[in-house]
Amino acid sequence: MNASSPIGIFDSGIGGLTVAHAVTRLLPNENIIYFGDTAHLPYGDKSSAAIQAYSIKICNVLLQQKCKVILIACNSASAAAYELVKEYVGSKAKVINVIDPVIDYIDHHYRGKTVGLIGTKQTVNSNIYRKKTDALGKDIVLKSLATPLLAPMIEEGFFNNNISESIIYQYLANEELSGIEALILGCTHYPLIKSQIDSFYKENITILDTSEIVAAALKKYLSQSSLLNNLNAYIRHFYVSDYTQSFERSTQIFFGEQIRLEHYPLWE
C-alpha cells in the first residue's frame, strides 16, 4: 500500500455510485476503482451466503488492482459479508463498511434520541444497526423499517416523479417510524430520493446521508494513516459484472457526470 494506490469501491449495482461520488468530491485526488455487481443486483433480497460469495470474488478483483482501501458501498453486503471480507483481505488493504461510520456518527450526535432507519430486507432483518446502536449504551432508540421497493425502483430510474413519491410517502407514513428525530438512509441508493424524503418531513427531520458520512470517515482514516494521495492526476475506472447501454446511461444520473463502464464477468 502507498498513497497513490487506488480506493476500491463495490456495490451490487449503481447505488454505490452515490458513495463513490461523495468520495471523489471530498477526495478529488484519489484514484478510484468501482465494481458494480450488476449481474446479481439487488443484494437486498439475496441470502447472506450468496452475498459473501459475490463479495469475495469482487475483492479478488480489487486486490489485483492493488487497492489500499476496499470500501463496501452496500448496506446489505456490509451487514452480511464485512467480517468475512476483512478476514479474507487481511493486511493487504483496509476494509471499510458503510454501517460503522454511521453508528459512530449517531453516537456523537444523537445520544438519548430516537432515530429511524430505512433499508433493504437484508439490512433491516440482520438487526445489525440495532445491535450496534444498543451496544453504544447511549439510550438511542432505533426504529427500523424495511423498504424493499425503493432500491429496484431507483435502479429502474423511477425517482423524482409521482410514482416514486407515492411509494416513498407510503413507507414513511408507517407507524414504525413515528416520533423519530433523524432518519438513516440505510441503502446507498436512497440519497437519490433525499429531496422527496425531505419533502415528506417538511425538513423537520434530519436526513442522514450515509454516503457523505462514509466519505468523511474514509478521509479521516487516510489522513491518520498518511495515505492521502496528493498528486493532481487521478484515475477512475468503473467495472460492472453485466453490461447494458441503458445501465451506463443511468450511471450518469447517479454520478453526475459521464462514465464509461467496462464489462468484467465475475464467473468466467
Amino acid letter, 175:
E
189 marked as part of a ligand binding site: yes
| Contact between 87 and 10 (Cβ < 8 Å) | no
Q: How many CB atoms lie within 10 A of CB 56?
A: 14
Whether the ω angle into residue 42 lies within 30 degrees of 0, i.e. cis, is yes
> Contact at 8 Å (CB) between 153 and 164?
yes
108 annotated among ligand-binding-site residues: no
Could you tell me if 237 and 34 are in contact, meaning their C-beta atoms sit under 8 angstroms apart? Answer: yes
Residues annotated as part of the active site: 74, 187
Show the cell assigned to 19: 458513495
Give the chain's length. Answer: 268
Is 43 annotated to bind ligand?
Answer: yes
Cβ count near 169 (within 10 Å): 13
54 marked ligand binding residue: no
Backbone angles phi, psi at 118, to 5 degrees: -120, 140
- CA 86: distance to chain centroid? 17
What is the C-alpha separation between 13 and 241, in angstroms, rounded?
A: 9
- Grid look-up 467480517 returns 83
Q: 75 among the known binding-site residues?
A: yes
Calpha distance 252→250 (Å, rounded) = 5
User: Binding residue per annotation — 44?
Assistant: yes
239 annotated ligand-binding residue? no
Residue 8 assigned as binding residue: no
Q: Cα-Cα-Cα-Cα dihedral of 108, 109, 111, 112, to 10°?
A: 180
Binding region for substrate: 11-12, 43-44, 75-76, 188-189
Binding region: 11-12, 43-44, 75-76, 188-189
